[in-house]
Amino acid sequence: MKKLLLIATGGTIASKYTEKGLSPQISAKELLSYVPAAGDFCEIDAIQPFSLDSTNIGAPQWLALAALIEKSYISYDGFVICHGTDTMAYTAAALSYLIQNSPKPIVVTGAQKPIDLAITDARANLLDSLRFASHDRAHGVNIVFGGSVIAGTRAKKERSKSYNAFSSINYPQIAVIQDDRIVFYIDDKGQRKAPLSFCQKLNDRVFLLKLIPGTGGSVLEALASSYDAFIIESFGVGGFPDYGDGSFRRAIARCLAAGKPIIMATQVTHEGSDMTIYQVGKVLKDEFHLLESYDMTLEATVAKTMWCLGQTSDYAEFRRLFYTTVNHDILFA
């Protein structure tokens, strides 16, 4: 029988109704009491490093989760993290960079409804996650939610209320779970040559600037001293507006001269960026060799930028790391 560690961090799955709204109150042990059927296929220990609405989860918690998994890695066959859905895609992406090439599964799950309600997706999601984490062919960081297994770098919360909240963006689902059967679409355990690695460094001084019609480069200049890297969420396949003042060109030149990477991403969820298609993108890409997110999700782009910044302050090395595929995150580069 597989031995798993359940790591409860809060979120709706563990929440109860209070006068002030839903807040996490259900302990890790109580969560397990709602899925007695898991006892047929795995043994589970439970731990609760913190109990937060995932709105309040960021780099310090991602590092704590990675450190906790590293410390307990040899004692368990797999890990299931219960987490709020709102920032789950960021956490799964961050863990994909902090724990690379794991032969053991690290599953992130949660629910749209608390586990103690009569009608809820929580019990199915938790049972599916434990089942997936007990499977011999499961490995690496994945989200299990609504019967889908999604690579940790490819998930996006696309629905704020429905049970099928998460989609796999620009990449197939790893597997689907139907009752007690797991059907793998990507079955690549054992094909990875790189060894397991843990990392304990992130730099979260990253700013995501979402452009709207009218945003000028002066915003980037104003923010430049407070952040170490910028992701610009532009329109379509990606370009910088020029309202006649050349302000983006100047701001980009200043940021790059100060060694601050700029990454072009897109506001369009599916199919990714390609700055070379339109003059509004190509001219600046050619001049500054700008990085772009291509087919990566925005969540993975954010987490990867924090991870790359944590590893190096050398721009060429940042670029190499950023375009290195980790947990299926990028295909086009």
Binding residues for substrate, by number, are: 54, 85-86
Residue 140 in contact with ligand ASP, rule: CB under 6 A: no
Residue 12 is a catalytic residue:
yes
- For residue 227, the minimal CB distance to ligand ASP (Å) is 25
For ligand ASP, the binding residues in 203-262 under the rule CB under 6 A are: none
Q: Which of 8, 44, 61, 84 binds ligand ASP (CB under 6 A)?
A: 84
- State how far the Cα of 69 lies from the Cα of 134, in Å rounded to an integer: 16
* Cβ atoms within 10 Å of 126's Cβ, excluding its own: 25
Q: How many of the other CB atoms lie within 10 Å of CB of 36?
A: 10
Contact range with ligand ASP by CB under 6 A, out of 81-89, 126-134, 178-186, 280-288: 81-89
Q: Is 85 a catalytic residue?
A: yes
- 55 interacts with ligand ASP by CB under 6 A: yes
- Choice between 112 and 266, CB closer to ligand ASP: 112
> In the complex, what is the shortest distance from the CB of residue 10 to ligand ASP, in angstroms, rounded to a whole number?
6
Closest residue by beta carbon to ligand ASP:
84
Distance CA 283, CA 295 (A): 21
> How many Cα atoms occupy the beta-carbon half-sphere of 300 within 13 Å?
34
Query: Does 53 participate in binding ligand ASP (rule CB under 6 A)?
Result: yes
CB 151 within 8 A of CB 174: yes
Binding piece for ligand ASP, criterion CB under 6 A, among 82-90, 120-128, 279-287, 299-307 = 82-90
Interacting stretch for ligand ASP, rule CB under 6 A, among 51-59, 183-191, 205-213, 227-235? 51-59
Give the span between the Cα atoms of 307 and 96, in whole angstroms.
Answer: 10
Q: Of 18, 55, 85, 269, which one is the catalytic site residue?
A: 85
CB of 56 to ligand ASP, least distance (A): 8
11 near ligand ASP (CB under 6 A):
yes
Provide the residue type at 97 as one letter. Y
The 10 Å Cβ neighbour count of residue 324 is: 13
Using only C-alpha atoms, the chain has a radius of gyration, in whole angstroms, of 20
User: Rule CB under 6 A: is residue 85 a binding residue for ligand ASP?
Assistant: yes
Euclidean distance between CA atoms 301 and 94, whole angstroms = 10
11 or 261: CB nearest ligand ASP: 11
> Beta-strand (E) ranges in the chain?
2-8, 15-16, 23-24, 42-47, 78-82, 99-100, 105-109, 140-145, 148-151, 155-157, 166-168, 175-178, 181-184, 197-198, 206-210, 229-234, 262-266, 291-292
Compute the distance between CA of residue 123 and CA of residue 56 in angstroms, rounded to an integer.
Answer: 24
12, 87, 109, 120: which one is catalytic? Answer: 12
> In this complex, which beta carbon is closest to ligand ASP, that of residue 11 or of residue 239?
11
Q: Check binding of 112 to ligand ASP (CB under 6 A).
A: yes
- Residues binding ligand ASP: number (CB under 6 A): 10
Q: In angstroms, what is the minimal distance from the CB of 157 to ligand ASP?
A: 8
Q: Is 12 in the site for ligand ASP (CB under 6 A)?
A: yes
Please, are residues 72 and 5 in contact by the beta-carbon 8 Å criterion?
yes
Among 48, 94, 95, 110, binds ligand ASP (CB under 6 A): 110
Residue 97 tokens, joined: 């960079």
Positions in the binding site for ligand ASP (CB under 6 A): 11-12, 53-55, 84-86, 110, 112
> Which residues are marked as active site?
12, 85
